[in-house]
């Protein structure tokens, strides 16, 4: 199998797992199981960082994709996918920084002697987190299209 195709197949599996952990993490947050929420989001973040590291190594060793043989549709699917991934990274970063501010509050510790959470931080965290998760799901769906195009071209 073409090593680049193998790399992107593994990348899709990584994205599927990270979206899965993020969705499970949202369910935990809704149930008030914040320690589990944090753990699921940490694993999702590690899967993002793992991908970014692997991608840099791939560009270094195998080079970038040659898009000369790609149709206009394939290129658009890739661009939209990249846009969703960018939104996921930025919104996920915002959710993470706001989440860190919630850590010292009773919302996370359940200790009544800890301070109340700032409602603005809580709201920002929720909105940024939901944005990141929705962008991640859409980015994953578009990635299926990108990979399908790669397999189709490989069999020509």
Interacting residue ranges for ligand HEM, rule: CB under 6 A: 26, 29-30, 34, 37-38, 41, 92, 95-96, 99-100, 102-103, 107-108, 122, 125-126, 129-130, 132-133
Question: Rounded to an integer, what distance in angstroms lies between the CA atom of residue 21 and that of residue 113?
Answer: 31
CB closer to ligand HEM out of 29 and 142:
29
What is residue 114's DSSP assignment?
Answer: S
Smallest separation, CB 153 to ligand HEM (Å): 33
Question: Rounded to an integer, what distance in angstroms lies between the CA atom of residue 117 and that of residue 32?
Answer: 14
Smallest separation, CB 121 to ligand HEM (Å): 9
Smallest separation, CB 61 to ligand HEM (Å): 30
Quote the crossing angle between the two packed helices 72-102 and 34-62, to the nearest 10°: 140
With the C-alpha atoms ordered 77, 138, 94, 51, is the resulting torsion angle positive or negative? negative
Residue nearest to ligand HEM (CB): 129
CB closer to ligand HEM out of 9 and 38:
38
CB closer to ligand HEM out of 9 and 122:
122
Smallest separation, CB 42 to ligand HEM (Å): 7
CB closer to ligand HEM out of 37 and 81:
37
Smallest separation, CB 94 to ligand HEM (Å): 9
Question: Rounded to an integer, what distance in angstroms lies between the CA atom of residue 80 and that of residue 85?
Answer: 9
Q: Are 14 and 51 in contact (CB under 8 A)?
A: yes
Q: Which residues contact 119 (CB under 8 A, 6 or more apart)?
A: none
């Amino acid at each position: 199998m073409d090593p680049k195709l193998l790399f992107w197949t593994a990348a899709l599996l990584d994205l599927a797992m990270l979206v899965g952990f993020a969705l499970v993490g949202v369910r935990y947050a809704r149930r008030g199981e914040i320690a589990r929420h944090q753990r699921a989001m940490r694993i999702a973040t590690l899967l993002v960082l793992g991908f970014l590291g692997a991608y840099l190594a791939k560009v270094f060793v195998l080079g970038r994709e040659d898009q000369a043989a790609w149709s206009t549709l394939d290129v658009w699917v890739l661009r939209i996918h990249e846009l969703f991934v960018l939104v996921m990274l930025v919104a996920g970063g915002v959710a993470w920084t706001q989440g860190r501010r919630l850590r010292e509050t009773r919302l996370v510790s359940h200790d009544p002697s800890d301070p109340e959470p700032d409602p603005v931080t809580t709201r920002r965290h929720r909105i940024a987190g939901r944005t990141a998760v929705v962008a991640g799901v859409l980015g994953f769906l578009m990635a299926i299209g990108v990979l399908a195009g790669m397999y189709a071209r490989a069999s020509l």
